[in-house]
Every structure is written in structure tokens, then in C-alpha cells.
Amino acid sequence: MLDEVFRAEWGRVLAALVGVLGDIELAEDVAQEAFVTAAERWPKDGVPANPAGWLVVTARNRAIDRIRRDRTHAQKIEELRWLTGETTEEAVDVETTFPDERLELIFTCCHPALAPESQVALTLRTLGGLSTEEIARGFLVPFETMSKRLTRAKHKIRDAGIPFAVPPDHLLPERLDAVLAVIYLIFNEGWGGGRVDLASEAIRLGRALVELMPDEAEALGLMALMLLNDSRRAARFMEGELVLLDDQDRSLWDETQIVEGRALLARALALQGNGPFVIQAAIADLHMEQPRDWREIALLYEMLFRHTESPIVEMNRAVAVAETDGPEAALEVLDTLSLDDYRYYHSTRADFLRRLRRNAEARIAYARALALTQTDPERRFLEGRLLELAPRTREDWDEFWTYTLSELKERVERKAAEGELGD
């Protein structure tokens, strides 16, 4: 219960303190102290009527104590008093208010002058309230590395003068894109691995963003996309095995998330949203219909490609093309793409080849995907497909060797051209 309150209030409390202190590190220290004090007192004295107000006042007082030791900061102390008026901890009531500056904090943490991995870590720490240890675990990075990354980022914000502000209009679209990208990155990290529940963290952050910017279609689109994808979480794996969309048990889909996701998508569309996240949410929505409208899906991928020019989007369009125009046409689309290091490119290609009964080629493509895959369920899925395609007859074997040898030859030639084999 206490944990819930802490997680819910951390971002707002911290943001308000950064607002006056102008220093994330100091704000974090005093906020941390306030939360520790709360953890000691609340179980005995009861949770105050206005937990966030209590935490801000307590943290503010800690900050004043600290700054008082340093006489040069008289003005800071005055500003800190203003933060919540002359209220003492005991006198905090539901009327005690302080500004919500989470939006300023998000834009600071996702400033493009910070490296993307720092943006992600800092956002999870300051707005998500995750501990350094949890973030390190989430990204499979040693604690020391993550701790250094966070400290460095906080120092850069302070020393380089990265503003604590919502960007002016002419910078806003670009900066908002950066914020959305950070949240989506956190979400996808959580989906692929399933370690610390980063997907839920991303949804929590997205929810805050939508609350703060209710008329930004792309923010709504991102939130809808995350909810629609996350709604299938329970159905994606069965006894540890990957289950493809068409084979999923729909009764396991989270209806509440779907309803909320669709409502957000409708709002985004009503706001004339047609940015990449709105399009992706619309695609996710169509994928969940039965039967799927592949023609519409292909069209949306085409729109999305115009925004992103990403070959992965083209690859996804090819999947839709395989349904409308057949796997042969889809293979033609795939062959124009250079995605040789992308595991899903090879598994998608393998699937088209399998449907065309070009088993030997499919086998090689599955083997390539297998070599690139990183998670066990995906590995087992691909191994299963490989087993199904195992050569059985004499002809199968002949074909298998012909392709395997030509494939090997091609690979050796490519490596030699890249100079990796020496002589």
C-alpha cells in the first residue's frame, strides 16, 4: 500500500523540488529522505490526508536545512518557502498545493543533448521512481555502470544548463518525439525480455504524459499502441512457448486494456492525428480484428513508411502483401530490403518460402533467424519450424544440399569481400 503511494507520488514530488532547486541530484536526495521518513511514520501515525503535499513539505524542509549551511543560498531558501507556503509537516492538509512540473521534468530527462540510454535511465529514475538497481536489472547492465550513467546525466543537466522547461512551440514537435521515443523504447525493452516489468513502467509514464498533454494526438497514439500490444501479453506465451497472433487464446486478452486503447485511438483520430504512433496504433487495432483487413493494414504500413522510411516497416507491409497478393509478391518486396542482421527479416522470409513450399530455402532462412535470436521461446519456436521442414525424401535431401552449399559459398564470398577471412 505504502509502496503504491510512493510510486504514484514520486514523480510529482521530485518534479516540484527540481523546479525550485534547479538540481536533480539534490532534489532526489531530499525527496528520498522524505520518503524514508514517511515509511517510518505513516505506518504508526497513519497516511496523511494529502500524502503528496506532506512529502513535498518534508522534502522542502530537508532542502532548507541543507542549504542553510551554505549562506550564499538565501534566495533559494525564499523560493523553497514559496513552494508550499509556510506550511509545516503537521499542518499539511488537502488544501496544500504545489505545481505539477512533471512535464518540465520529462522534457529535461529526454533532452537530445543526453545520450538515448541516459534519457531512458533518467526518465525511469526520476518519473518512474525505479531504483538504480531495478533499472540496471531491467537493462541487464551492471549496477555500477547504471549508477555512473545516471550520475553523469544529472551532472550534465546541471553543468551544461539543460533547461527545466516545456520547450517553446518551434521546438516542441521534435522534443515531444524524443519523449515518445524514450517511452516506447522502455515499453519494447519490457516486451521482448520480460525481466523487470518495464512494459508496465512505460504504460505508467505514457498515462502521465497523456494526462499532462491531453490534446497531443501522438501521445494518445503511443498510449493506445502500448495498451493494445500489452493487452495480448498473457496470450503471447503458452507454457513458455511463443504463440503467434492467430493461434492466441483470445479469452486471455485483456479486455479493459483493449477498450481503453481503442478509446484513446479514437480520440487521437478525432484530433486529426496521422503521425507514426497513431498509425501504428491503428495497425495494432486492425490486427486484433477477425478476419483481419490486410488491404487496409498494407495501406497503413505504406503511410507509416512515408514517415519513418524504415525497412522494417516495409517488411511488415510485405507480411500484409503476402495475405492480399500471395507470398510470391511479398518475397519481391522483401528482396529489395537490406535487413540481413534483423532476425525477424529472416523468419518472415522463411515463412513466405515455407508457404511456397520452397523448403530448402525456408530452412536456411529459419537457420539464419535462429542464429540471430536472443530469447529462448523464439529459439524454440524457430527450432520447431526447422524440425517440421527437415528433409525426408531423397529429393528433399538433394535440394537441401544444393541450397546449403550455394548458401555457404555465397557466405564465404561475402566474408572474403568484407575482408574478414584474410587469406
Partner 1 sequence: MKYALLIYNREGCTSKEMTDDERRRFVEVVDEVLARPNVGPWVRLGETESATTVRQGERGTFLTDGPFVDSKEFIAGLIVVDAANLDQALAVAAELQELRTGGAIEVRPMREARPSED
Least CB distance to partner 1 at residue 343 (A): 35
- Of 189, 180, 183, residue with least CA distance to 203: 183
- Between CA 322 and CA 329, with CA 327 as vertex, the angle to 5 degrees is 85
Least CB distance to partner 1 at residue 72 (A): 13
- Pick from 163, 192, 326, 384 the residue near partner 1 by CB under 8 A: 163
- Pick from 45, 159, 169, 418 the residue near partner 1 by CB under 8 A: 159
Least CB distance to partner 1 at residue 103 (A): 16
- Pick from 162, 186, 264, 281 the residue near partner 1 by CB under 8 A: 162
For the purposes of burial, counting CB atoms within 10 Å of the CB of 142, is it exposed (0-12), middle (13-18) or buried (19 or more)?
exposed
Q: In this chain, which stretch among 44-52, 155-163, 176-184, 225-233 interacts with partner 1, using CB under 8 A?
A: 155-163
Which residues touch 73 (CB under 8 Å, ≥6 apart)?
A: 67
Q: Give the residue with the Cβ less far from partner 1, 155 or 414.
A: 155
Q: In this chain, which stretch among 38-46, 159-167, 268-276, 360-368 interacts with partner 1, using CB under 8 A?
A: 159-167
Beta bridge partners of residue 238, listed in sequence order? 241
Task: Give the Cα separation of 319 and 65 in Å (integer).
Answer: 62
Q: In this chain, which stretch among 57-65, 161-169, 198-206, 328-336 interacts with partner 1, using CB under 8 A?
A: 161-169
Q: How many residues bind partner 1 (CB under 8 A)?
A: 10
- Pick from 49, 165, 416, 421 the residue near partner 1 by CB under 8 A: 165
- Pick from 167, 193, 311, 391 the residue near partner 1 by CB under 8 A: 167
- Pick from 43, 161, 192, 214 the residue near partner 1 by CB under 8 A: 161
Query: Residue 179, interface with partner 1 (CB under 8 A)?
Result: no
* DSSP H or E segment with residue 317: helix 311-325
Q: What is the DSSP letter of 245?
A: G
Query: Residue 171, interface with partner 1 (CB under 8 A)?
Result: yes
Q: Give the residue with the Cβ less far from partner 1, 160 or 270.
A: 160
The answer to whether 17 and 63 have CB atoms below 8 angstroms apart is yes
Where would I find the H helices in 115-249?
Answer: 116-126, 132-138, 143-160, 172-193, 198-212, 217-230, 233-236
Q: Give the residue with the Cβ less far from partner 1, 172 or 235.
A: 172
Residue showing cell 531495478: 134
Q: Give the residue with the Cβ less far from partner 1, 171 or 412.
A: 171
Query: Residue 113, interface with partner 1 (CB under 8 A)?
Result: yes
Least CB distance to partner 1 at residue 104 (A): 12
Burial 329-362 (b: 16+ CB within 10 A, else e): ebbebbeebebeebbbbbbbbbbbbbebebbbbb
Q: Give the residue with the Cβ less far from partner 1, 36 or 160.
A: 160
C-alpha cell at 398: 538433394
- Of 291, 292, 293, 281, residue with least CA distance to 257: 281
Question: Can you give the binding site for partner 1, defined by CB under 8 A?
Answer: 111, 113, 159-163, 165, 167, 171
